[in-house]
Amino acid sequence: MNTDPRSALAALIAALERHYEAAAASRGDDDPALDAATEQLTTAFDTYDDALFDAYDIATPLIVFDGDEDDDDDEDDFDDLDDFDDEDEEDDFDDEDDDYEDDEDD
């Protein structure tokens, strides 16, 4: 059964409004009302995105992500950069030594 994109859009707008209200009244990151509104917003967005694609073969330019998983990925990215910087520094020192030896030969 296909969902009408217009009604999915209306549900998404309502979910955005509920999420805003929950965020404005939030008592912090662990607020169960905010968590519930976030889950409803995610579901409404997915429904709208699917309905839009089914009806018009067009997707929204947005992606829903889980912040917990993304945080782990970010840390891994920074670890990789640290490894690259260490290797790069070692190469730089070797190049400097080579330049110094070349100057002595002249």
State the pLDDT at residue 96. Answer: 56
Q: Which amino acid is at 58?
A: I
Residue (of 41, 40, 65, 56) closest to 3 by Cα position: 56
pLDDT tens by residue, the chain, 106 residues: 589 999 999 999 999 999 999 999 998 878 999 999 999 999 999 999 999 999 999 999 999 887 765 455 555 555 555 555 555 555 555 555 555 555 555 5
Strands (E), the chain: none
The residue extents of the domains of the chain are 5-56
Question: What pLDDT score does 65 carry?
Answer: 86
| Rounded-to-integer distance, Cα 63 and Cα 43, Å | 12
Measure the CA–CA gap between 75 and 72, rounded to whole angstroms: 5
